[in-house]
Structure formats: structure tokens, C-alpha cells
A and B are shown apart, each in its own frame.
Chain A
Amino acid sequence: MKKKLLVLVSLILVFTGVLSACGKSGSGSDQTFRMNLTTEPPSLDVAQAQDQTSFTVLSGLFEGLTRMDKDGNIIPGVAEKWDVADGGKKYTFHLRSDAKWSNGDPVTAHDFEYSWKRTLDPKLNPPAPYAYQLYYIKNAQNYNIEADNPNHISDPAQVGVKAIDDATLEVNLENPTPYFLNITAFFTSYPVHKSAQTNANWAAEAKDYISNGPFKLSTWKHGDSMELVQNENYWDKKDIHLTSVKFSMVKDANTELSMYKTGKLDWAGKPTGDIPTEQLAKFREEKNPELTIKPIASTYYYNFNNEKKPFNNVKVRKALSMAINRQDIVDKVTKAGQTPAYGFVSGGIHGVSGEYRSEVKDDYFKEDVAEAKKLLAEGLQEEGMTSMPEFTLTFNEGLHKEVAEAIANMWKENLGITAKTEVQEWKIFLKNRQSLNYDVARAGWGADYNDPMTFIDMFTTGGGNNDIGFKNADYDALVKEAYATSDQQKRVDAMAKAEKILIGDNQAIMPIYYYTSAQLVKPYVKNYVVDFGGNIDYTRISIEK
């Protein structure tokens, strides 16, 4: 019996050894880049995509009229050059003749016109959630919104985008939009191949997928993995070194890290993965050379319910904001090298000539416990209250709990007030926040495009993302002023004034920190780009082992 067992065990061991030896293929310096998406991209249809995972995949598969270089400057993509006329309201794009789809068809101006009008089509199946990214185009909104819209335009010919010929695309805008060339680099503006007309499910599987970017979709195992391979028809093929990009979809951050450590991934962490907080702190401590941490254009803040007593009182809001220690929160709780925030617009966003945040300092207020105490007492008195009532600080699952508890503690210690902390399931949390059913709630905002406006226009009266009940006519007027001009100095001045009203004068929200993006990258991965918003550009990577 014992002998048999021994034989069995040794057999298993030998077998295991042989098989695992077979499994290891010589990797050499093959040009393959592997990263984790964490989840299945919800959609690879240009019209349906609206999240970072989908975007990460799409950015390798497609190319817009313009694209961004490694420093975030706009450079030609499918469009070779463009002219701007009519005070910044008319763009004429001249397309390169050698741009081709992955099936060999030429990419024409008609493909862009078709794609944009398809996204704006109210009858698209299902209607495009991100259609509003194209509302800069003349009549786009009124064409897109059909129900309960007296100004609905049913004729797509009236939408301000038109292919004059195969190589010329004319775009008319509603307002002068200085960052429109950023929009044309954004995934909602990618072209779609005409075969989508007859094949509504073109983006559901790898086999029918046609794209025009550096890579094409080779395999898509739903929920498991995805592989992009080089598109031999891409016009700028000489700059593409990778022959294959492999995405896995592993949900567990610890597993992702283990895969990175065992050489199954070349990249771990943001934007589509994650490094567990404690591990990240350890890597920072030991100064791991593979770890990079970069500020990105996103802000972490708390919403005050500006309509609810006593948070309707500016002194109370200021008191709460001034009584916490932001440096302690980023050092001891979040631990990913974030910077304390005293403004709303994050770093990494263009201003007039340099960064907005270096041109307009975020010194709207200072942390000051004594002053906070005074303001709280005054504020409560103005509201006819004798003491701060117990209130609730709500947040969703994740590290937000630790942040909330730290802040509640600081309030308790510094102001002697009690905030109950309450975690809520994601959608319930969002629903409560959007319907102003909260006292103080966690929030975060990331830039859609590289302009302060992506933050500033959020809190206009009645705005779709204004979930704090903030109403300020001066603020609205400044946003309008910035919209109406293409003079960047005037725009930035107006937006800076608006930010001062929002934070400095009203403390309508409580900024906490500016996000960072942390990733582990193998040393042989060269020429990758993490842009201002934290998105990865892997298209020009080369593997140098």
C-alpha cells in the first residue's frame, strides 16, 4: 500500500514536471505586450463605449482624425492637416490617402460622417449613451434627442458634419471650441466601417471586427482574454513595433500582482488594473524601480448637500473643510503619493500657455482649526442652531471607508462634532447622491478632455452632474462667457473666477486630493505613455529585452 502510494506520488510529480516544462515556450524578445483589463470591456462599438476599459482596447484598434503624442500635443491622425475658419466654428479636415481599414478598404471622410451620425441617431440599437460627446457639432443635440424635444431635427443632413469628397470632411460647430481637436482624438469620434449598416452586431465578436488603427482584433474570449495583432494595413506601420497585445481579464488585484511577479504580465496597476494599497505602500517604501506614480487629471472630494441645513450655510461648509488635515490623509490612508487638493481643477490640465494649475494657484483656503471652530459657531448661530446635529457621511465600497473614517475622526477631534459613516452599495449610493438624499457624500471627477472646462461646467445651475444643489448666477455667467470665446486667456480667466466662486467663496464642495496613477512596468517595456488623464497609450511600445 505504502509502496503503491509512493509510486503514484512520484509519477504525479514527474508528469507535472514534464508537462510544465512543455508549457514554457521560449519568450525571447518577441514583441508582445501583456496587461490586465480586470473586466470584459462592456462594448467595443465606438458608439456604445463609455468607460476606461473599452477605451483602452479601442485606442489600439482605432485612430481618429487627430491623435495625441507622448506629451499630450495634438498631432495628425487620419487627417493629414486641417483648416479652422469662421472664428473657430468651422473645421475642414484633409484626410491622408494611405489610411486603410484592417480589411484593406480606404478610410474616407464618409466613414467619419457615417460614424458620427450613427452615434447621434436616436434610433440606434440601443441609443448611444456617450452621444453628447459630439454635441459640439452643429444641430447634433437636436438631432440626437427625439422624445419630448420640440426642436428635434429629423433630417441627418442638417447635422454639421459632411464629407465633401473622400478626402475632405467639413465640420460646423455650435460654439467655438478650442479643444475640438482633442475631441476628434477621443474614442466617440473614431470612424466606423460601413459594414456596420448591415451587421448590427459587428462589434460583438472578433471575427467581423473591422478597425482602422495600429492593431486589429484577433481573438476575443469573452470574460477571459483578448488579443490584438498588428494591422498590416495601418498607414504608420513603421512606428508600430508590437506584433501582439494581450489583455487578460483578471478581477482580483492580488492575482494580477502575482501574475506580474511571475512574468505573466508586463504591466500591473492603473489604468485598467490595480495594485492593492498595502502592497503599493510597500513598493514605495522599498523604492521599487518598476513602480511609477504619476499625478492624473482627477480630483477626490466630498459633496456638501448645499440645500440641506446646516450645510446650506457657507461658514459651516468652510469649517468642515478647514478642519481636516489632507496631508495626513494622503500619507497615512491612501498612500499612493496623491497631492492634497485645495481647488477643483486637478493638475495636468492645460491653461493658457502651461498648466492651468500652475497659472491659477489653488490657494482658495487654508486648513486652520481655530478659524474652523469660529466659523462653525457663527454658521450654526446664523442657522438658529445651538450645536451641530449628528450627520451622515456616505460613500461607496473600497478605500473610501478608511478615508471617511479618518475625516470623521478629524472632525470629532478638531470640532467636537459627530459624523456617522455609512457605506452604500454603488448604485444605491449614486441614486442617493444624484437625488440629493445625503448630508455629505464622497465624490470623484476625472477629466474627459484636456481643458479646465471638463471640471468647471459641472456645477452650473441644473447641470446633469450638479449633484450638490449649487445654484449661482455669477458662476453660470462665467461658464457661458468661457463657452462663447475662443480666446484662451479670456476663457481661463473666466474659469478661474468661476473656480474661486465655487471653492473660495462658497466651499460648495470639499476638495481632498488629486489622484495619482500607479503602475508596475517591466523594465524592458519602452515608449509607453500615460496621458494627463491616466490613460495608457501602448500603441508605440517596443519590447527591448
Chain B
Amino acid sequence: MARYLGGKFVNIIVSLLILATATFFLMKAVPGDPFTQEKAIPPEIKAQIMAHYGLDKPVWHQYLIYMKNLFQFDLGESMKSSNRTVTSIIADSFGTSFKVGIIAIIVSVIIGVYLGMMAALRHKKFIDNFFMFIAVLGISIPSFVVGAMVQYFFGVKFQIFTVAGLEGPLDYVLPVVALSTLPIAFIARLTRSTMLEVLTSDYIRTAKAKGLTPHAILWQHGLRNGILPVVTYLGPMTANVITGSVVVEQIFGLPGLGAYFVESITNRDYTLIMGITIFYAVILMAARFVTDVLYIIIDPRIKISGGVVKK
């Protein structure tokens, strides 16, 4: 087990190095720099600013300096927001994205799994068809449409919730709805199809034969197996949702990380681009790592010996 996890960990570090390197050189290959702007800064002043940030050095030299700092966990200063470090920008904005994202994930899993199971239990009945119709809608309507719609109806028209911002707990409702529509639909369909398979399998028949209550069969035997694909999906989805959705954050005016993703690139804020990319990659890889561990815990069929997974 330890060797298996250790191997995964080394894998993560190597991937991060490759990613940081590729991003660095790609970013430098794009025309423009942080100080190109409509009202051009006089070239002599610009040269002094470029030199201040080390941007006058050859790209490989800049790369070495960046990597050296990175190994000391120093992500540098933002070039657009002078006086602010990349770490403080990420720390400030990730909190918001994380809070909204985690709520959205919990809501998605509870509602999605519940809908999926209900649909599976009433296979080919009205509830099944109805839930699956809703799920198709949920998957095909993009989050910015859902966001704009709920904002218009519940924020502007009926004024039940505030239009934008996160001042009170209720302000979370609309962004969470917008963020969780797709995952709910996706999880519901995943759960339904796996549950249909599980419910017809041998061990469920055995459990029924043993005289277990339908309740116990469903929750103890059915769900445990039926939820595995959801766990697989949950890893990347969590990473995705907690790091902030650009669109949803824009619509609801949330001070999250998502907006900085896009802005840092538009601004050519090199240090911030690198910082956010690496941060996002770390979150994604950590989520996958946790997924792997959860797999071992949930699925008793997965056994690990000598660092290899055997199924």
C-alpha cells in the first residue's frame, strides 16, 4: 500500500514539473507582455520595469530563476497588481471558490445519487422517465444559461435572492444551483445505469434470499457498488468545481479563482499564470490521488500487493 501510494506521489511530482515547464515556455511564446498597453509606456520606463521583473533576461534564464523560486515555494509577485504576491491572490480567491464549490458538490452528490437510485428502482416507470428527461436537460443546458436564468427569475423578477455577491448564507443558493445542475444530472445518470446493473446481479439475489430488508439491500449492498463510478467522476469534478467556474463567478460577481484564470492570461501576468496553473494542477492531482485511495476503501475487490493493483 505505502509503495503504491509512494509511486503515485512520485508520479505527481514529475507531472507537475513537466506541466510547469511546458506552461512556462508556451506562455512566453505568446506575443505581448504584462506592460504592453493602449497608452504605451515610454520605452525607457518600460525597459526599467522589464528589468525589475527580470524579463530582460533570456527565456531559459528566466525559467531557471522561476524554477529555483518554485522549489522554495515562492510564486513571486503579480506583475499586474503590484504589491500583491501570487500566493496571497490565490489564497484570497480560492476560499470563495472552495466554499461555493464544496457546497455544490455535496448538493450534487446527494441529489444526484438520490435521483439515480429512485430512477433505477422504478425502472421504465414514470419517475424513471421523468428524472432522466430532467437529467438530459441538466446535461445539455450550459451553466451560464442556468445561471442567467435563475438570476433573472429569483434575483430580478421575484427578488427572493440577491443578484450578486456573497454576503449572507442565502446568497450561495443561486450560484450553487448554477454550478450543480450539470453534476446532478451526470451523477443521476451514472448512478441509475450502475444501479440497474447492480440490482440484477447475483449478490443482490443472494441478499434477497437471505431475507434482508429491501432497505438494507439497497443501501448496504446496492449503493456501495453503485456509487463507484460516481467516485471516479467525483475526483476530477471536485478539482474542477472548487477551483472556480469562470462563467458562474462572472454572472454572480463572485470573487473566486476562476476569474483570475482568464484575466491573468489576458494581462500576461506571467507569475500569476504560472501560480494558478500549478495550483490547479496540484488540486486536480490531489483529487485523483484521493479518488484512488477511496477506491481501495470502498471496493473490497481491489487489493494491493507489492505496489500493483490487482482486481
Residues of A whose CB lies within 8 Å of any CB of B are 16, 19-20, 23, 39-40, 42-43, 45, 48, 50, 122, 125-132, 144-149, 200-201, 203-204, 221-225, 248-252, 254-255, 258-259, 261-262, 264, 425-428, 430-432, 434, 444, 448, 464-465, 467
List 22 A-B residue pairs with CB atoms under 8 Å apart, sorted by A's residue number: A20-B170, A23-B168, A40-B81, A122-B48, A131-B45, A145-B44, A147-B51, A223-B92, A224-B254, A225-B255, A250-B165, A252-B250, A252-B251, A254-B148, A255-B163, A255-B253, A262-B159, A264-B164, A264-B165, A428-B32, A464-B42, A465-B39
Nearest-neighbour CB distance to chain A for B258, whole angstroms, equals: 10
Can you name the residue of chain B whose Cβ is closest to the Cβ of A144? B45
Interface residues of B in 254-278 (CB under 8 A from A): 254-256, 259-260, 263, 266, 268
Q: Which residues of B contact A149 (CB under 8 A)?
A: 44
CA distance A39 to B93 in the complex (A): 13
- Chain B, residues 13-50, CB within 8 Å of chain A (1/0): the string is 00000000000000000111101111111111111110
- Chain B, residues 168-204, CB within 8 Å of chain A (1/0): the string is 1110000000000000000000000000000000000
CA distance A295 to B222 in the complex (A): 69
Judge whether A48 and B83 touch: CB under 8 Å.
Answer: yes
What DSSP secondary structure best describes chain A's contact surface?
loop
Can you name the residue of chain A whose Cβ is closest to the Cβ of B266? A426
- The listed residue (A16, A42, A147) touching B80 by CB distance below 8 A is A42
- The listed residue (B49, B88, B252, B260) touching A127 by CB distance below 8 A is B49
Q: Which residues of B contact A147 (CB under 8 A)?
A: 44, 47-48, 51
CA distance A20 to B163 in the complex (A): 13
Judge whether A258 and B152 touch: CB under 8 Å.
Answer: yes
Judge whether B36 and A434 touch: CB under 8 Å.
Answer: yes
Q: Which residues of B contact A127 (CB under 8 A)?
A: 45, 48-49, 52
Interface residues of B in 272-286 (CB under 8 A from A): none
Considering only CB atoms and an 8 Å cut-off, how many residues of chain B contact the other chain? Answer: 61
Q: Which residues of A contact B266 (CB under 8 A)?
A: 425-427
CA distance A170 to B43 in the complex (A): 30
Judge whether A16 and B81 touch: CB under 8 Å.
Answer: no
- The listed residue (B49, B89, B168, B254) touching A222 by CB distance below 8 A is B89
- The listed residue (A203, A221, A258, A467) touching B156 by CB distance below 8 A is A258
Does residue B212 face the partner (Cβ distance < 8 Å to A)?
A: no
Judge whether A222 and B32 touch: CB under 8 Å.
Answer: no
Can you name the residue of chain B whose Cβ is closest to the Cβ of A38? B253
CA distance A428 to B268 in the complex (A): 11
- The listed residue (A45, A254, A264, A448) touching B83 by CB distance below 8 A is A45
| Closest 5 pairs between A and B when the two form their complex, measured CB to CB | A427-B32, A250-B253, A224-B255, A223-B255, A204-B83
CA distance A225 to B168 in the complex (A): 15
Does residue B220 face the partner (Cβ distance < 8 Å to A)?
A: no
Can you name the residue of chain A whose Cβ is closest to the Cβ of B167? A23
Judge whether B93 and A222 touch: CB under 8 Å.
Answer: yes
CA distance A129 to B53 in the complex (A): 13
Q: Which residues of B contact A252 (CB under 8 A)?
A: 250-251, 253
Nearest-neighbour CB distance to chain B for A487, whole angstroms, equals: 28
Interface residues of B in 42-92 (CB under 8 A from A): 42-49, 51-53, 80-84, 88-89, 92
- The listed residue (A248, A426, A432, A448) touching B253 by CB distance below 8 A is A248
In the complex, which of the residues B253, B255, B263 has the most CB atoms of chain A within 10 Å of its own CB atom?
B253
